[in-house]
């Protein structure tokens, strides 16, 4: 037996928190009866419907994918642009990306059918770290790094923060490591644009505890169970810090 919200989340439909909302709204039916009790328990023989659709628990899968440049992070595009699903094998097409990388960016995408994990990794209240290697035009200085750390208004009412360190400076460009705990749209590009240093290239190398290590561009590999365990412990620690 397991709680109804966990059963719904294990179908890949949504997170447990969203499942609770669905239960309370009266759209969840168990064996022909509407259930609104959050702690309701179900077993393997029970039939669970959400919005009149029968759901089943799925085998949860976790992969890491090295996104190449030139692909958008979505399953379909009305403009006919190439998507990551043009690269990902057909048998893994049901996996969803955790967050996004814009068309010109490369690097790590966690891919999974675990709706609860996706929610945990992307919810704005949980400050999950993401690490990038970024090359920009011109010579970035210490004042630029300080400005990024203190915050830049990239859109009206939206302040973006980043912890950046210079790796290498050449005559015409600077390479940096940038760490984010936010997920604003095109955040890094907009911050450097504000500073007068347009981005040349941007690659995500780490998301939470999962790194791009061992992947070639365009390659997708399963994430080891021990790594998923470490990831869950990391998220639990962040959740505890948020609530303290």
- What averages of pLDDT result for each successive group of 10 residues across the chain (244 residues)? 89 86 95 93 93 90 97 84 94 93 96 89 91 98 97 95 97 97 94 98 98 96 97 93 77
User: What's residue 103's pLDDT?
Assistant: 94
Position 241 in a domain: no
Whether the CB-CB separation of 196 and 138 falls below 8 Å is answered with yes
Position 229 in a domain: no
What CA–CA distance (Å, rounded) separates 217 from 225?
23
User: What's residue 133's pLDDT?
Assistant: 98
Are 134 and 200 contained in the same domain? yes
Are 142 and 101 contained in the same domain? no
Are 137 and 198 contained in the same domain? yes
Counting every residue written for the chain, the total comes to 244
User: What's residue 128's pLDDT?
Assistant: 96
Query: Which sequence positions are flagged as catalytic?
Result: 102
**Residues 181-202 as b or e (16 or more Cβ within 10 Å = b):** eeebebbbbbbbeebebebeeb
Whether the CB-CB separation of 214 and 203 falls below 8 Å is answered with no
Position 142 in a domain: yes
Are 20 and 39 contained in the same domain? yes
**pTM across the whole model:** 0.84
């Amino acid at each position: 037996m397991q709680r109804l919200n966990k059963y719904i989340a294990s179908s890949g439909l949504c997170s447990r928190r969203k499942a609770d909302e669905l239960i309370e709204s009266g759209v969840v039916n168990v064996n022909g009866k509407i259930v609104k009790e959050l702690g309701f328990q179900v077993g393997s023989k029970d039939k669970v419907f959400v919005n009149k659709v029968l759901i089943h628990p799925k085998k949860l899968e976790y992969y890491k994918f090295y996104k190449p440049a030139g692909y958008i992070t979505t399953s379909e595009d009305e403009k006919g642009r190439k998507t990551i699903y043009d690269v990902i094998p057909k048998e893994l097409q049901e996996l969803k990306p955790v967050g996004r990388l814009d068309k010109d960016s490369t690097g790590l995408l966690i891919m999974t059918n675990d709706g609860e994990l996706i929610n945990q990794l992307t919810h704005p209240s949980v400050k999950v770290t993401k690490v990038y290697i970024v090359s920009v035009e011109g010579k970035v200085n210490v004042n630029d790094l300080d400005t990024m750390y203190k915050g830049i208004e990239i859109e009206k009412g939206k302040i973006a923060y980043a912890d950046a360190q210079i790796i290498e400076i050449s005559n015409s460009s600077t390479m940096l490591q940038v760490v984010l705990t936010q997920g604003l749209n095109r955040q890094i590009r907009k911050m450097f644009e504000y500073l007068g240093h347009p981005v040349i290239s941007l690659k995500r190398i780490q998301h939470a505890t999962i790194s791009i290590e061992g992947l070639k561009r365009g390659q997708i590999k399963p994430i080891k169970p021990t790594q998923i365990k470490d990831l869950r412990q990391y998220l639990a620690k962040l959740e505890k810090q948020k609530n303290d």
